[in-house]
Every structure is written in structure tokens, then in C-alpha cells.
Amino acid sequence: MHHNHRNLIIPTYDTEALEKALEEACSGNIQIRHRLELRSLAISLWYAREDKWNSISNKDNSDVLKALTNFRANLQRRKKKNDHLTTDRLMNISQPAQSLLLSEIAYIFRDVIDDFTQIDFSSERHVDLLSVAIEASISKAGKPQGRPVNEAMDIFFLGLKNLYEKATGKQAIAQSCFKKVPKTHFEKLLYPGYQIMWQQEYPSALKAYKRALERNSQTTE
């Protein structure tokens, strides 16, 4: 049976501006896998925004940690991982835990698959990556403050940059301009993505993007 997003509560925000910007950058020839990757990045950022405005209480945080720990235990106990049972279990865990785990999966699998339903449980690499995502989720659930907002924004920005360069074959360029509005194709993609988290003008988006690049360069040195 083919699995889709039927159990996933898709956010109601509109991704039309993001997809339109990428389509324009690709001269109207956007591949489906790139469109799906863009939606995955946007959804992960939306989840982070919801966590920001509806921060999980200590009790809820304990529930999230328990749900993720149980999911990990169920996965480790399974002898056969090549069916859809694990996907069903993932979609049936509590919404806060699911949001956190899907965000980690989107980031860790970003160069491997386009959507979490493509995880192949008969693939040792996929199972290993899923384990990494679960451990990262458990680690973050164990911290009362949850994931810092700037970390979620950084993941989105870096993922968006990689996606843009893969989809267009061009360098992602974002720079200051006199009218303080997005001008390049990448800037027009960057700005509506930033607005998922913050409703501010373009210069703020550009500043946040440059800070993300700086933090990433420091961690990779």
C-alpha cells in the first residue's frame, strides 16, 4: 500500500510564493524532487515556528521524550524493517514528537531522499540515518528550551541555498540593494521563506541569512 501524507497535519500557510520563486529561477522547469524538497524545508521551518509561539511545557516535553524513546525502542526490536509499519508508527506518535522528528529527518536525509515516505527500511544506510535523526530528536527533547529559533532558521537557509544551487546550477546570491527589496532569483526565494518565521522586511532576512552562513562556516572550520 502506498503511503502519503494522509496522517500528517499539513500547515495551512501558503507555499505558493516559494514555489513560484523557484520556478522562475528554473525558467519554469522545476523538477518534482526539488519541489518536494522545498516543501519539506518550509514545513520543517513552520514546525519550528509553532514550537516558538507554543513552547512545550515541562510536562509536554516529558511526553515528547517518552514518545520518541518508545519509537526508538520499537524500531530496534523489529527484525524486519522493509514494510510500512515503521512509517505508520511514525505518523501515529504525538504531534509535538512527530514535528520534532520530521524536522530532524528532513535535515539529516536532505541529500538522500525527497520525502520521509521514501525511507527504505531495507537499506542499512537509511536505517542508520533514521537512527541519527531519532537520537538528535531525543537529545533536543531532553533540553527544556527546545531547539533555538536561530538553529531552525539556519537549517532552512542552508538547505534552501543547497536546493537552489542544485535546481538551477547557479550560485545562490544574496546581497544588499538600494531599495532594500529582493532582486536576484535567490533573494526572491529567500525572503518568503524567512517570512514563515518572521514578518519583517527584506534587510532583516538578508542579515539573518548572512549570520547563518557565518555560523555554518565556524562549525565547519
103-149 residue pLDDT tens: 778 777 877 877 677 778 778 888 788 888 888 788 777 654 444 55
Residue 76 C-alpha cell reads as 530496534
Q: What per-residue confidence (pLDDT) applies to 54?
A: 52
Residue 200 CB neighbour total at 10 angstroms: 13
Q: What per-residue confidence (pLDDT) applies to 8?
A: 35
Residue 143 C-alpha cell reads as 533540553
Q: What per-residue confidence (pLDDT) applies to 51?
A: 64
Which residues fall within 8 angstroms of residue 151, CB to CB, at 6 or more apart? none
Query: Which residue numbers in the chain have pLDDT < 50?
Result: 1-13, 56-59, 144-147
Residue 95 C-alpha cell reads as 504531534
Q: What per-residue confidence (pLDDT) applies to 4?
A: 36
How far is Cα 155 from Cα 161, in angstroms, rounded to an integer?
A: 10
Q: What per-residue confidence (pLDDT) applies to 187?
A: 93
Q: What per-residue confidence (pLDDT) applies to 12?
A: 38
How far is Cα 3 from Cα 47, in angstroms, rounded to an integer?
A: 21
Q: Under a CB-based contact definition with an 8 Å cutoff, are residues 95 and 158 in contact?
A: no
Q: What per-residue confidence (pLDDT) applies to 42?
A: 84
Helix (H, G, I), strand (E, B) or coil at 139: helix
